């Protein structure tokens, strides 16, 4: 499947109010918001309350459902994966009801986009759980990843690459913020929630140079090379194959050295590599989110994974049994990116679509305070 390319302005979907309907009542800042991300591997949800220019999480849910299991071969979501997902969504529905959440955005991504029965599954979810999920387009997925990472942008950064390594796809967005005042760079990126093609105003804006959605994530890339038995050979082939899929991405063609350049990586792969780099025996988000790593440090961790072999990776508590089967395909993607754009400024983001969904909703409702992020 070819990478997805931008097709004009891509604003986040919003409910359209009829001209005859009453004006919506502005939400109170004390109201709770929910965001649910149904991906190729996991079902994740956050329930949060606006707080200052961010939010406070009051409840959460995360479950590995392996929705994309078998999708590469059959083109369809399997009965087992759909049943696991429905069970997880019933728990989400109970949490939403218990917390009396009224404002929510529930989305599904690559597995449901690709599956021949994806739309049918959305109707089944609505029928059996009462929840309505939207299958979002790749551009919106990229937008959500970008705005979730805005608080991690350095004041010194002028060129930014945001990478979201998912289970079924990987989104890359290259942003030029050289024309934005240093103190406004995070906010300029937050404003991209309205779309990558920004209307011209007097306000200095972040410029999206290019974006791409590569239909290869940790699960789909692994499945492409599942028949290769040699561990090191499989890793090398995965990394090479992913890089081949980047050639339509405009910045890939540029041989210019990048100055004041920052990569922000958001995914379980990046946070796992960071935890291994720090030698954490138990995951600690406060030590991971915002951590900076160099290409050399990342390579060192990846080589240690290869030296462990499959058995060693399964036994390593820093990787975990759930991540062990996917870590090398994720590492192959990460290595390809660092090979293309080496930097000592890769920022690790323990955040993603759910945070982006919350920021987008709260920003649209005007319940976030202005200020630096």
| Structural tokens at position 190 | 């937050």
Cα 227 to the center of its chain, rounded Å: 28
- In this structure, the number of other CB atoms found within 10 A of the CB of residue 95 comes to 17
Residue 166, CA distances (Å) to 21, 39, 204 in order? 39, 8, 31
CA gap 196, 145 in Å, rounded: 12
Return the structure tokens found at 171: 């989104």
Domain 140-353 has CATH 3.40.640.10: no
pLDDT string in tens for the chain (373-residue length): 556 654 443 333 434 333 444 455 555 657 999 999 999 999 999 999 999 888 999 999 999 999 999 898 899 999 999 999 999 999 999 999 999 999 999 999 999 999 999 999 999 999 999 999 999 999 999 999 999 998 899 888 899 999 999 999 999 999 999 988 888 888 888 888 777 876 666 677 889 999 999 999 999 999 999 999 999 999 999 999 999 999 999 888 775 556 788 999 998 999 999 999 999 988 899 999 999 999 899 999 999 999 999 999 999 988 887 789 999 999 999 999 999 988 877 999 999 899 999 999 998 888 887 654 4
The 8-class DSSP code of residue 251 comes to G
Exposure string of 65-78, with b = 16+ CB inside 10 Å and e = fewer, is bbbbbbbbeeebbb
Q: At what angle do helices 295-315 and 268-278 cross, to 10 degrees?
A: 90
pLDDT at 137: 93
Task: List where CATH 3.30.420.40 sits in the chain.
Answer: 33-137
Q: Looking at residue 368, what is its pLDDT? A: 83
Residue 1, pLDDT score: 56
Three-state DSSP class for residue 369? coil
Q: How many CB atoms lie within 10 A of CB 223?
A: 19
Query: Of 236, 247, 50, 251, which Cα lies nearest the Cα of 162?
Result: 251
- Considering only CA atoms, which of 190, 162, 160 is closest in space to residue 175? 160
Return d(Cα 55, Cα 85) in angstroms, integer: 27
Handedness of CA 272, 276, 279, 281 (dihedral sign): positive
> Rounded CA gap, 354 and 107, in Å?
9
Between helix 295-315 and helix 327-340 the angle, nearest 10°, is 170
Rounded distance, CA 189 to CA 13, Å?
A: 18
**Domain 33-137: CATH superfamily, name plus number:** ATPase, nucleotide binding domain (3.30.420.40)
Phi, psi (degrees; rounded to nearest 5) at 316: -80, 120
Which residues of the chain form CATH 3.30.420.150? 140-353
- Pick from 303, 315, 320, 110: nearest CA to 223: 110
29 Rama sector, left if φ>0, alpha if ψ -120 to 50, beta otherwise: alpha
> What is the secondary structure of 134-150 as a DSSP string?
EE--HHHHHHHHHHHHG
Could you identify the residue written with the tokens 């105003």? 201
User: What is the dihedral sign for C-alpha 346, 306, 70, 64?
Assistant: negative
Give the strand pairing for 134-135 and 103-108: parallel
How many helical (H) and strand (E) elements, i.e. helices and strands, does the chain have? 14, 11
CA distances from 332 to 231, 303, 351, 361 (A): 12, 11, 21, 34
The whole-number pLDDT of residue 256 equals 59
286 phi, psi to nearest 5 deg: -65, -25
């Amino acid at each position: 499947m070819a990478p997805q390319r931008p097709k004009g302005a891509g604003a986040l979907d919003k409910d359209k109010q009829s001209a005859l309907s009453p004006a919506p009542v502005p939400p109170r800042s004390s109201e709770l918001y929910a965001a649910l991300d149904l991906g190729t591997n996991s079902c994740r949800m956050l329930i949060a309350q606006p707080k200052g220019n961010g939010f406070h999480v009051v409840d959460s849910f995360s479950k590995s459902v392996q929705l994309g299991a078998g999708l590469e071969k059959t083109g369809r979501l399997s009965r087992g994966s759909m049943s696991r997902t429905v069970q997880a969504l019933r728990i989400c529905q109970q949490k939403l009801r218990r917390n009396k959440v009224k404002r929510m955005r529930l989305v599904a991504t690559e597995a449901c986009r690709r599956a021949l029965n994806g739309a049918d599954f959305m109707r089944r979810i609505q029928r059996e759980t009462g929840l309505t999920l939207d299958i979002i387009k790749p551009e919106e997925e990229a937008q959500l990843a970008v705005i979730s990472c805005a608080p991690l942008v350095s004041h010194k950064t002028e060129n930014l690459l945001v990478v979201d390594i998912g289970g079924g796809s990987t989104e890359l967005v290259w942003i030029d913020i050289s024309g934005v005042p240093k103190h406004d760079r995070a906010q300029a990126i937050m404003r991209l929630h309205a779309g990558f093609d920004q209307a011209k105003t007097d306000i200095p804006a972040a410029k999206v140079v290019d974006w791409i959605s590569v239909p290869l994530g940790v699960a789909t890339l692994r499945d492409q090379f599942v028949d290769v038995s040699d561990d090191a050979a499989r890793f090398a082939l995965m990394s090479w194959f992913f890089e081949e899929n980047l050639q339509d991405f405009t910045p890939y063609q540029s041989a210019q050295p990048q100055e004041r350049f920052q990569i922000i990586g958001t995914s379980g792969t990046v946070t796992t590599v960071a935890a291994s780099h720090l030698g954490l025996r138990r995951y600690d988000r406060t030590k991971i989110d915002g951590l900076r790593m160099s290409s050399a440090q990342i390579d060192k961790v990846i080589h240690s994974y290869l030296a462990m072999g499959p058995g060693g990776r399964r036994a390593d508590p820093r990787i975990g049994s759930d991540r062990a089967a996917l870590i090398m395909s994720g590492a192959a993607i990460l290595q390809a990116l660092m090979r293309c754009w080496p930097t000592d400024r890769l920022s690790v983001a323990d955040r993603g679509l759910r945070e982006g969904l919350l920021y987008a909703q709260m920003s649209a409702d005007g319940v976030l305070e202005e200020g630096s992020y």
